[in-house]
Structure formats: structure tokens, C-alpha cells
Structure 1
């Protein structure tokens, strides 16, 4: 008997939207998965051959790329940041919709006095950000933050931020304004390329089931 198929899912908002899709595909996690007091990270499901792991969004891509998990659900923002060649993203799940945007203090946006050769950006997407500005001939010095991005311009850490934006309310409440959308984001089903070939009999039907559920 082969090892269980492992599906990596992200903590947070995307997971809330992904659970109904998992149910449509016929995968139901054990009761502990819904227990807020549980510190477990790996869970059995109603299928003895399928397990779930619940990790940080950025780590979903890493687990699947390195073959520790065979399938995952992750935002396209993570795929843009890491650009792993080992990943195949066959299905846009149509959930977790938002955008990666550049934002800056309202005053800075109003003056239009923007330096054109060098910018300092606070972001958790340093590679994506550097590529975006480089394409415009601008050198971006990226300060890596994992949260509270909106504080960076206020406290002089960076003049702008690149972050996920949904409603824009957090930006507004922190005196920032969205000035450019880098990419629209939605959650994708990702598959390890090697697993897709070597375990096609198990993986391919699951991918097709997710495709139908998303549609």
C-alpha cells in the first residue's frame, strides 16, 4: 500500500472558503480539524488514503514543491513570489480573491513627487516586488515584513508597501492609498509535478474533482 496522499491547506481566510470545496470533492477532515484548541498540524480524513496538513500559506508551496505534500491549496500571490518549477497549478479555484497592490501615504500620492530610480518598499513579497519595479527600470530596496505592513511608511521604515488588498479598509485607516495593482489574486490547486506523473491514478481524479467543484 502506498503512502497516504497529503493535501496541504493554508490557515486563515482561504481555508474557510476551501472547506466547502473539499466537501464537494468528498473529503471530510477528522473532528479535531475544526477544534480551535487543537494544536495538531496533520489530520486524517474520511478517506484512509488521504491526509490533510494545515500550515502557513507560504509554506504550502514549499511542502508541495519539495514533495512532502502532493497537492495543495494556495493563493496565486505565493506562486508569483516563489515561482517553483516543481509546481503545477492546474485549477483556479475561484476563491480567496484579492489583489497585490502598491500603496503609499495619502500625502505622497497627492504630491506626485515620486523618485523614479530607487524606491524603498516594505513587503512580504520581495522577489515579486523587485521584479515588478525592475521591469520599469526602478531599483526596489525591499524591507521584508511578515505583517503590520501599514506601519512602515508611518514610522519611516519605507516610503511604500506592497501587500494584499481586499476592501482597502486597512489601508484607509492607516493613512495609505492604493496607487497600483500588480496582480489579481485567487486561490489555486497546486500539484507536485513528480507526484502528478508517478501517482497519476490517485492525483488526476482528485484534480478533476476539484476542477468540477470550482466550476
Structure 2
């Protein structure tokens, strides 16, 4: 059996749809269930940020997770395939009336992705103060908590509705198929077979 960690929400739905097309089986979670057993697969419904932990610790053989999460946590996994779903950007956001002022002695950045933010601004030799937040990040510049935010942007609607704009794009992101390194050795044939089937299905879109 191959254990697969999926992030809750749209990416899980799109991944299960891919599996339905490949195997002609009804891959569907029951309401509020966190585990789905179907054929030779066991799907685990997991919070997006926790998927690298499930995979690296071997609780899941493979997982689907955003590239932004992989880059933030620098997890030691096998990156198998860009799934081309869950596409978004990691951006620097500021108030609509502001400009990103690099002449300041220090920029205050609110984010849930401190490593990506530090790496990006260190390449520009900009001193930072990171303010780690877990939600409502758009609020930070509006109340003077931060000069800017670093956050995931899909359509930009949330930023616009809160009086913010995208100042710079740090990276493009989409969901990746990843594998536990030990599982990739012990279950290599099964994982590669699944990889090729998923890749073929994605290329048919």
C-alpha cells in the first residue's frame, strides 16, 4: 500500500480527480474523515504546512504540497513532479499608496514564510525585521505593524479588498508530488509507476 498525504481543500480535490481518471475508481473522502482507503492506496487528509513532516518522517510515502512550502522548510524529500495545480505566487505586498522603500535602515516584514522572505531580501542586501504571523497578514501594513507583507497570492483579490497591492513577485508556486527518500527506495517500482501515470494524465490536459 502507498500512503499519500494530501492538503485539505482544492488541491486535494484536483488530485483525487486525477486518480479517478487514472484508475476509474471513486476516490472520495467521507464527510470529516481524514483517512481514505481505496485499492492499494491510503490517502491522508493533512494540513498543507504539515505534509513535509508526514513525508519526511515516513508516515506518508508520497505527498502533494506547494513549492512555496518546500522552499520555506527546505525539507529533505524527493521532488518528483510539478502537478501544475494550485498555482499561485509568493509576493511582497504593500499599501496601495506606498512604494517599497529600500532606503530605510530596516524593513519590517509580516509573513508566515520567514525563510523565503529573508532569502529574498538578503539577496538585495536589505536589513529586515521579520514579524511572524499565522493569519490576517494583510492587516499588518494597515495598522503600522509592518512596512510590507510576504504572502501567497492567487488572484490578488484579498490584497485589493484590503487596500494593498503587489509590489514584487518573489516566486511562482504550484503543487509538487514528493516522496519520502526511504520509500522511494523500498517502493520505487510502485511510486515510479504512479508517477508516470500521473504525468501522462497531466500532459493530457
Relative to the length of structure 2, the TM-score reads 0.92
Alignment-derived partner of residue 69 in structure 1: 60
* Cα shift at 1:18: 1.9
Q: Secondary structure at the match of 2:146?
A: coil
* Cα shift at 1:75: 0.9
Check whether the contact 2:66–2:86 (CA below 8 A) recurs between aligned residues: yes
* Cα shift at 1:113: 4.0
Aligned length: 203
* Cα shift at 1:201: 2.4
Change (3 A) 1:195 1:27: farther
Alignment-derived partner of residue 50 in structure 1: 41
The partner residue of 1:94 within 71, 84, 92 is 84
Aligned pair 1:20/2:13, yes or no? Answer: no
* Cα shift at 1:175: 0.7
Alignment-derived partner of residue 108 in structure 1: 98
Check whether the contact 2:80–2:178 (CA below 8 A) recurs between aligned residues: yes
Check whether the contact 2:20–2:26 (CA below 8 A) recurs between aligned residues: no
* Cα shift at 1:161: 0.5
- Deviation track 1:36-74 (CA, whole Å, cap 9, x = no partner) reads xx2x322211x1x31000011111111111211011111
Q: Secondary structure at the match of 1:121?
A: strand
The partner residue of 1:6 within 3, 27, 38 is 3
* Cα shift at 1:169: 1.1
Relative to the length of structure 1, the TM-score reads 0.88
* Cα shift at 1:117: 4.0
Q: Tell me the distance in 1 between the aligned counterparts of 2:25 and 2:144.
A: 47
C-alpha RMSD over aligned residues: 1.7
